[in-house]
Amino acid sequence: MSFVSSLLSPFFRRGNLASSGGEDLRAGFDGLEPGGSALEEDELGAAFRAEILGIGPIAPDFSPDVLDALRVVTLRNPDLANAVGNIVLLGNTEFSIEVEGRGAEALRAAILELNDTIYPFGGGWRGLVSDMLRQVAVYGGIAVEWVPADDLKDLHKGVLVPARSIRFRRDPKTREFYPVQVRKGVVGSLGKDSEIVLNPLTFQYLAAERSDSSPYAIPPLIAALEPLAVQAGMAKQIRFIVRKLGLLGLLEVLVAAPKPKNGEPASAYKERAGTHLRSVVDSLNKMKKDGIVAGFKGSYEFKSTATTSNLQGFQDIWRLNEEQVASGARQDPAMWGRSYSTTETYGRVVQERQLAQLTSYQELVSRALERAFMLIARLRAIEGIDSIEVLMEPANIHDRKEAAEQEKIEIENANALFLQGVIDQDARARRLGYGKAARPQPLGLEAPAAPGGAGEKEVENALARFTSEQNARLLDAICELSAERELEALG
């Protein structure tokens, strides 16, 4: 059995988390070791970059230097910093933990207990979620390691591993990918001593989007780098114009030439005239900083040429580039405060697109948290855990009144399908965003008869009884149930 297979087999041999008796739930963690296997700090360095593409047969479709560039540019460029900030701000919503089994309460208590220590200096589980969302927004995926305690009886902490240090190799026997982390300061050929094989029991690499069968995540901002390079050149020109010419334009000064001295050679006169002209320029530059330019009448002629005469043309060019940056960043300029289109329909399209992106990123975070909670249950030997599901609230970027009206319509549609016998009570609950119904039958309504049978008249009567008053009562019950579940999630 290969090294990777020996690590993976204990994890899958156990099946689900449920215990069959008094057995030690930590049994089967043959590949689990105290502490973490990944380098927690950013110890990549620059020495390995020239050799990084030679790490093995499985290389990313882009230079790993791109990931370094994205890390820096998302901190320094206002537009990309805004793009990443939108993901983190809107995506870090409240989440609930759905645990089934007799050990549910014990696991919830354990998760709450670890909130202060799971992510040092990061604000607990919510802080970890925030930084995982940032990692997805910059690198396109999550690289996290759940570090067990030294005695293997609890989860010590979560560590976000630098995604730009992760590479994949392929096991020659199983042909499966496995992750490694590149060490710092590698020179020459990369061998076994230059990388860390990461433990798949504790390390997770989750990609939001990949290219074909490549295991690497596609950085969502990678297409914005080229137009950003163009923008950087434009900004450099703006700085030059402001520094050299000022906001008011070009100041043209005609200086009276000094008179030649008797017997002065032409070369000496030329040098003296040049020195005089340079001294005048230096003096005028100093005066311009104070907003005043002065000279003797008859000795100087001043003429100002505005540099803003074609400013509109420059704004158009800048806007075209800015739209290219936004397209590469997969966000609309409206999300950055640039309202190039103000129609209501267009605004809804932008909202829906942003919401879809956030939802896909939240799914990755949920899967990472579920792995962490699984490990907590196994390490603490909590029995009777049948399933764990993390549900994140959708980002609140809609008008609340409009969202409430839309929810009401969805409830009415689900009720109509239920009363017609098309779906059952649990299917209706799933259509409304719940895993299953809390009660076998709805409040104030009889169970629907099968369509086409003797109970069709009863179905019609049930529809007639489904008045607006009962509809409101049903909606109140659903809201009350939702509030109860939120309180349960908070412990």
| 237-278 pLDDT, tens digit each | 777 766 665 555 667 778 888 888 888 888 888 888 888 888
Which long-range contacts does 208-214 make (Cβ < 8 Å, 24+ apart)? Answer: 208/136, 208/140, 208/141, 208/360, 208/361, 208/364, 209/140, 211/61, 214/58, 214/60, 214/61
Q: Lowest mean pLDDT: which of 30-34, 444-448, 468-472?
A: 444-448
More confident residue, 475 or 55: 475
pLDDT range class, residue 381, cuts 50, 70, 90: very high
Q: What is the mean pLDDT of residues 332-336?
A: 76
What pLDDT, on a 0 to 100 scale, did the predictor assign at position 259?
84
Q: 184 pairs with which residues across the strands? A: none
Most confident of 295-299, 361-365, 429-433, 453-457: 361-365
pTM, full prediction? 0.64
Per-residue confidence (pLDDT) for residue 5, from 0 to 100: 37
Banded pLDDT at 449 (limits 50, 70, 90)? very low
Q: For all residues of the chain together, what is the average pLDDT? A: 75
User: In the prediction, which pLDDT does 329 show?
Assistant: 82
> What's the rounded mean pLDDT across residues 308-337?
75
| DSSP 8-class letter at 217 | B
Kindly report which listed range (7-11, 169-173, 215-219) carries the lowest average pLDDT score: 7-11
pLDDT higher than threshold 60 for residue 25: no
pLDDT digits (tens, 9 = 90+) for 191-231: 544 788 899 899 999 999 888 788 899 899 888 888 888 88
% of the chain residues with pLDDT over 90: 21
Confidence band for 122, pLDDT divided at 50, 70 and 90: confident
Q: What is the pLDDT of residue 114?
A: 94
Q: What is the mean pLDDT of residues 163-189?
A: 79
Rounded to 10 degrees, the C-alpha dihedral 169/174/175/179 comes to -20
Higher per-residue pLDDT: 49 or 258: 258
pLDDT at 487 over 80: no
Answer yes or no: is pLDDT of 22 > 50. no
pLDDT of residue 108 exceeding 80: yes
Per-residue pLDDT, averaged over 356-380, amounts to: 93
Q: Which residue has the higher pLDDT, 128 or 449?
A: 128
Q: Which has the closest alpha carbon to 58: 151, 164, 168? A: 168
Most confident of 87-101, 330-344, 348-362, 456-470: 87-101
DSSP string computed for 232-246: HHHHHHHHHHHHHH-
| Cα separation, 59 vs 55, whole angstroms | 7
**Nearest residue to 489 (alpha-carbon basis) of 207, 213, 112, 230:** 112
Most confident of 21-25, 174-178, 193-197, 256-260: 174-178
DSSP 277-290: HHHHHHHHHHHHHT
Per the structure block, which two tokens stand in for 86?
A: 């939108």
Cα 70–Cα 71–Cα 77 angle in degrees, nearest 5: 70
* CA–CA distance, 304 with 300 (Å, rounded to integer): 13
CA trace torsion 411, 413, 416, 421 (10° rounding) = -100
